[in-house]
């Protein structure tokens, strides 16, 4: 029978020595791990067994020889990182470890034999294989985090990733829509059944998940973007593995409402024209599965299909020569907010950046007047010439 973690045994071996063996957590589910100590005296062996069990209880593991790179990363991701990271972040870590870190370091190499040169090899393989420097930087940070825990638990004497300069992130020249292009996009949206969905993104700088996860009861005089919809991978039991404190609600299938990563992302701000009328008309439509503002053929909008629909809208509006990522529509909104003369502190609050997140954990009602003024100025910028600013007629009626 297989013994559980922390269970020990003591027996007299054929050579006459008393042998103590304590079961340890497995880094590879198929391979057993034990800490073995031998002694000539049974009483001494029993004392050593109790000491090992006490150390294991306090630290969760004991140092042993023979931990491989693959074994450690498998264990770290499943038993430590899974309790700390958001599900989608964990999935990204696991993919990078499997495809780049473990093969780059050497799956069967002993963990305590990793050198700074091995870490640089991972960088070089990613970049040499056509990957971006930013991706190599991400792999470096994952290695550093995993090695830090290994060092803390006594498997490494030092963190080899800390002995190497991290790759520099690529300088990315973001492509965003201009003011004229934004107006043109809104004109096209006004003629489409799903136009309200895209107008909401442009007029609020909301993330994809925040828009497709928007519920009817979070739209009123105040727009509440404190939840977003994401696809989470289900575990073997049909649930999802999430870290402590992670808030989520099930929508349907693999779709869940989740909280944004930081409280700065729990945004609420005044709903002004023309978006107020756009969303009121959308709310009056008959089909709202799960209480969602936006849907697709009677079902919640799938994140991947939503991104594909955005690409189709761009092609319809600008042809094949123009492409802006859906997420970068947030950057378009930021540029337009600056162009409208909105103060920077309000832009940070409207967009939900984390720059001043801790000092604004709770929104002040005294700021609502400034926010309303800022959003009205933003909407006025996108108002066709000759139309009264703030009017419900600022945009053509969505069909």
Q: Which contacts of 229-234 are long-range, i.e. CB under 8 A and separated by 24 or more positions?
A: 229/255, 229/256, 229/257, 229/258, 229/300, 229/301, 229/303, 230/88, 230/255, 230/256, 230/258, 230/303, 231/255, 231/256, 231/302, 231/303, 231/304, 232/87, 232/88, 232/256, 232/258, 233/87, 233/91
**Mean pLDDT per 10-residue interval, the chain, length 399 residues:** 55 82 72 76 86 77 74 91 91 96 95 95 95 94 96 87 91 79 89 92 91 95 92 82 88 92 74 88 93 94 94 90 85 81 77 47 43 74 60 47
Distances (CA, A) of 28 to 152, 155, 236, 312: 20, 16, 18, 45
- Which pLDDT score is estimated for 66? 66
- Which pLDDT score is estimated for 366? 41
Supply the pTM of this predicted model. Answer: 0.70
CA distance 32 to 26: 6
- Which pLDDT score is estimated for 262? 67
Check: CB of residue 114 under 8 Å from CB of residue 69: yes
- Which pLDDT score is estimated for 47? 87
- Which pLDDT score is estimated for 177? 87
CA distance 210 to 136: 29
CA distance 300 to 255: 9
**Residues whose CB is less than 8 angstroms from the CB of residue 51 and which lie 6 or more positions away in sequence, other chains included:** none
- HSE of 165, CA atoms in CB hemisphere, 13 A: 4
């Amino acid at each position: 029978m297989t013994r559980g973690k922390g269970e020990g045994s003591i027996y007299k071996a054929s050579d006459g020595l008393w042998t103590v063996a304590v079961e340890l957590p497995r880094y590879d589910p198929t391979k057993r791990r034990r800490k073995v100590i031998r002694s000539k005296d049974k009483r001494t062996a029993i004392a050593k067994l109790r000491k090992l069990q006490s150390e294991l209880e306090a630290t969760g593991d004991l140092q042993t020889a023979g931990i491989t790179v693959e074994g450690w990363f498998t264990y770290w991701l499943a038993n430590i990182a899974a309790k700390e990271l958001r599900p989608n972040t964990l999935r990204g870590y696991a993919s990078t470890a499997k495809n780049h870190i473990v093969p780059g370091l050497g799956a069967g190499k002993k963990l305590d034999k990793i050198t700074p040169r091995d870490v640089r090899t991972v960088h070089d393989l990613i970049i040499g294989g056509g990957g971006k420097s930013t991706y190599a930087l991400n792999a470096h940070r994952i290695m550093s985090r995993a090695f830090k825990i290994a060092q803390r638990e006594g498997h490494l004497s030092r963190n080899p990733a800390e002995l190497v300069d991290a790759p520099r992130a690529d300088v990315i020249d973001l492509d965003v829509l201009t003011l004229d292009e934004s107006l043109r996009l809104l004109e096209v949206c006004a003629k489409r059944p799903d136009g309200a969905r895209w107008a909401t993104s442009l007029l609020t700088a909301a993330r994809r998940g925040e828009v497709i996860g928007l519920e009817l009861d979070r739209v009123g005089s105040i727009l509440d973007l404190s939840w977003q919809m994401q696809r989470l991978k289900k575990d073997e039991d049909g649930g999802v593995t999430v870290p402590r404190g992670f808030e989520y609600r099930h929508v349907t299938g693999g779709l869940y409402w989740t909280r944004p990563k930081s409280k700065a992302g729990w945004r609420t701000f005044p709903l002004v024209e023309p978006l107020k009328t756009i969303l009121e008309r959308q709310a009056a439509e008959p089909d709202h599965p799960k209480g969602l503002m936006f849907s697709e053929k009677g079902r919640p909008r799938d994140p991947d299909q939503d991104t594909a629909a955005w690409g189709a809208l761009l092609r319809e509006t600008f042809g094949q020569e123009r492409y802006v990522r859906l997420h970068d529509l947030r950057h378009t909104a930021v540029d337009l907010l600056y162009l409208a003369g909105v103060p920077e502190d309000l832009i940070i609050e409207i967009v939900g950046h984390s720059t001043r997140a801790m000092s604004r954990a709770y929104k002040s009602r005294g700021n609502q007047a400034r926010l309303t003024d800022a959003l009205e100025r933003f909407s006025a910028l996108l108002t066709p010439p000759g139309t009264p600013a703030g009017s419900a007629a600022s945009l053509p009626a969505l069909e």
